[in-house]
A and B are shown apart, each in its own frame.
Chain A
């Protein structure tokens, strides 16, 4: 066994040992500021920008493609979903009700998942989407500035993003936020 030896000439680098404390303090500060802030929505640089382009195979008919052009013509929702996403399962019945109300067409972006699982999901729980594009590697979602799933974008008749909802849509969210937005978009455009 070699004995630990001290070299008196070398100054110990004491600042290294402070790093864990500093990192932890930063984390705590971020956390407390985070808890203190309460913006209802996360700012998205995409608001009032044209929807980012995509050209994806459809989940139910992989020979057909859908692109951002399907979002034009009338206001629509683009919902990002996946079968691994527990919150999406919570949100799903609400989407079914929205689809049944025929207020607005819902398009899906099927995100980082496997086609077979997505098909089973739609078969088991129902399909609220006009069509779902398969973004299996999540590249398109990056263009859309995705935080996670589920997220829903409100898009106007010109294909411009007007609102972004992070997390599952509840029936209240639909009634109080999304539906009024869509109604005003329709009114504004005279449709």
Chain B
């Protein structure tokens, strides 16, 4: 009975979403404040109903209700409680519900704070979000109902995919989804502006915090995913240019372009249409990402074809969203343009150039991701273009982006003399050359151009940040007060840029100086990597709650002194009989020691195949992601997004009079 209540709650949520989408939307077009007023209660009611549906599905997981097909397919009576809760989004049906859940949560937040925005804008935004919700609820109810019963109920469930039985993997999808769904809000604001054919001066300030939060969540989600791949897959790699990874990386690229373009729109009222276009593209890619990852299209086009209802729904929904948005853009965008002039050497231009680079990068990733799919759809078999393609196109496109990070945050708005800019940037550039070259000499291992260039880029951005800080404080007597006067937005930006630099350092140094060995080891065998000697002690059998494992023991010596012992595992999960590698890693800021266990090679001598890795500075890659997230969070707390509430009210009364 209870699962049917959940199903019923979703049906009700769909009908409320229809009201939420249509009535305020019509109110916006017909300028009827009473219709627009429906937006708020409808959004809140939809939130409550979706929450109820989501809560009931979670409850079915917790109490092991295997009569629900989805629970039977993704859970098991041995599954620990935490993974039963995260198991709700462990497969397609539940993760769609999570998507709707996050969407309705954010719509509800907008509804609660709707007084921040003019009535017509908040009605438009809530209406657009309602339309998106309709699409997802229809998809969920008609093609992927999580509450479908199975009769007779199986005695036990098929268990959650062991890959997902991991704390990081438990929070990675919600993070990613919060990012994806987050871009729905800037999208809704963009569509509202296009429908109205005008853009409020405060528009960019309303959108910026939302775009930032979405970007922060997506950054965190991608970082967690990459870290997970590193320690869980046992290959020592952290990014595989896998289609699933690309699906989350593409909206990140355009989302990054969006938050920068929004800065220009807010500060200078320029690039409005570019910002709107980026908002549309970011959300469209988020939709593409959501669908691609969970629909099984990426594992094979044949999976897509085997369930044509889902496939056709996905294509039609995507086509509608993107098609309608771009059509609106074609009809209305020219009305929103401004003639804010800026010269070739200006911050506007630097940010525009950077966002163009990011967009082009996204397109190359899109091409590399879709090309094998299209080829397969045409009957060509499954091929990969693989990392050689991506690293060849990606790295050259990212180098100018990082160089421009150092320039863009330093250059003046509107116009700057080239000679002045060169003067300002000369010192950071020279110091970057000196530092990078000096550090390369200190670093162990042979000199390498890649390492040097990575360090050069890193110091370039850091030095430019320091130079800016000095520049900003040049007229203040009291340094502390001067530091306090700088807005949080600036600190957030600098922090995020430093985060990017950390990631660049991590990628450059770990790719150059890593060492790996792939070998068979019997107890007593040893191998030296870098300054570390790995000694294989042996493998023992151990049992976990829902798996049994072979646990290896490897002692690591540095200069003949035992430093630590690592225990890589090879697990077999009881229900699905999946083999899982649990690599053992010892991390610090300078290097990771990474050991993963392969198969047993020789039962007599207890020899195993073992992978040993020595990876300098690799932790910096994710540390950089963490710092970027921190930077985004600092920027979101900038006071101007809060003070604005009062100011907007005043402004509303004085000059913003909706025509009613």
Contact = CB atoms under 8 A, between A and B. Distances in A.
A28 B317 CA distance: 13
A158 to B, nearest CB: 26
Contacts of B341: 2
A27 to B, nearest CB: 9
Given A21-B326, A37-B378, A4 B386 contact: no
B388 interface: yes
A148 B372 contact: yes
A181 B382 CA distance: 21
B378 A31 contact: no
A6 interface: yes
A191 interface: no
A45 interface: no
B334 A14 contact: yes
Interface of A: 1-2, 4-7, 12-14, 16-18, 20-21, 24-25, 28, 30-31, 34-35, 37-42, 82, 84-88, 90, 112-113, 120, 123-124, 138, 147-151, 165-168
B561 interface: no
B444 interface: no
Contact of A12 (B326, B334, B374, B379): B334
Contacts of B379: 37-41
Interface of B: 268-269, 273, 277, 280, 319, 322-323, 326-327, 329-331, 333-334, 337-341, 371-372, 374-388, 518, 598, 609
Most buried by B among A7, A31, A88, A138: A31
Contact of B269 (A4, A17, A82): A4
A42 B378 contact: yes
Contacts of A138: 388
Nearest to B342: A2
Given A7-B339, A38-B379, A124-B609, 5 more contacts: A20-B277, A20-B329, A30-B374, A112-B388, A148-B371
A168 B331 CA distance: 46
Given A24-B323, A84-B387, A35 B377 contact: yes
Contact of B386 (A14, A41, A148, A151): A148
B375, B383, B384, B598: most-surrounded residue (chain A CB, <10 A): B383
A17 B273 contact: yes
10 contacts: A4-B338, A12-B334, A17-B273, A17-B331, A20-B277, A21-B323, A35-B377, A85-B386, A165-B381, A168-B381
Contact of B382 (A7, A24, A167): A167
Contact of B380 (A21, A113, A167): A167
A14 B322 CA distance: 19
B387 A39 contact: no
Given A4-B338, A147-B380, A17 B375 contact: no
B336 to A, nearest CB: 10
A24 B330 contact: no
Contacts of A25: 323
A5 B280 CA distance: 26
B377 A34 contact: yes
Contact of A6 (B339, B388, B598): B339
A21 B378 contact: no
B339 A5 contact: yes
Listed residue (A6, A17, A34, A167) with the most chain B CB atoms within 10 angstroms of its CB: A17
B326 A20 contact: yes
Contact of B334 (A17, A84, A166): A17
B415 to A, nearest CB: 12
Contacts of B277: 20
B383 A151 contact: yes
A124 B376 contact: no
A148 B374 contact: no
Nearest to B520: A123
A20 B379 CA distance: 29
Contacts, number: 112
Given A4-B340, A24-B323, A124-B609, A86 B330 contact: no
Residue from the set B323, B374, B375, B381 with the largest chain A CB neighbour count within 10 Å: B381
Contacts of A113: 388
A21 B328 CA distance: 9
A120 B517 CA distance: 9
Contact of B388 (A5, A14, A84): A84
Contacts of A86: 384
Nearest to A152: B381
Contacts of A124: 518, 598, 609
Contacts of A12: 334, 337
Nearest to A173: B381
A87 B388 contact: no
Given A20-B329, A21-B330, A42-B378, A148 B383 contact: yes
Contacts of B609: 124
Closest 6 pairs (CB-CB, A-B): A167-B381, A148-B383, A4-B338, A21-B326, A112-B388, A17-B333
B218 to A, nearest CB: 22
Contact of A149 (B273, B380, B386): B386
B383 A87 contact: yes
Contacts of A88: 384
A34 B374 contact: yes
A167 B341 CA distance: 52
A41 B380 contact: yes
Given A4-B339, A12-B334, A87 B384 contact: yes
A84 B326 contact: no
B330 A18 contact: yes
A38 B375 CA distance: 10
Contact of A21 (B268, B329, B377, B384): B329
Contacts of B273: 17
A17 B269 CA distance: 18
B380 to A, nearest CB: 5
Contacts of B382: 87, 90, 167-168
Contacts of A1: 269
B381 A34 contact: no
A187 B269 CA distance: 76
Nearest to B383: A148
B389 to A, nearest CB: 8
Contacts of B327: 21
Nearest to B328: A21
A172 B424 CA distance: 67
Contact of A148 (B269, B326, B384): B384
B594 to A, nearest CB: 16
Contact of A150 (B269, B375, B383, B388): B383
B381 A20 contact: no
A141 B339 CA distance: 50
A42 to B, nearest CB: 5
A123 B517 CA distance: 13
Contacts of A17: 273, 329-331, 333-334
Contacts of A167: 376, 380-383
Nearest to A10: B339
A82 B387 CA distance: 11
A112 B386 contact: yes
A85 B303 CA distance: 20
Contacts of B322: 24
A110 to B, nearest CB: 12
Contacts of A31: 374
Contacts of B268: 2
A31 B334 CA distance: 29
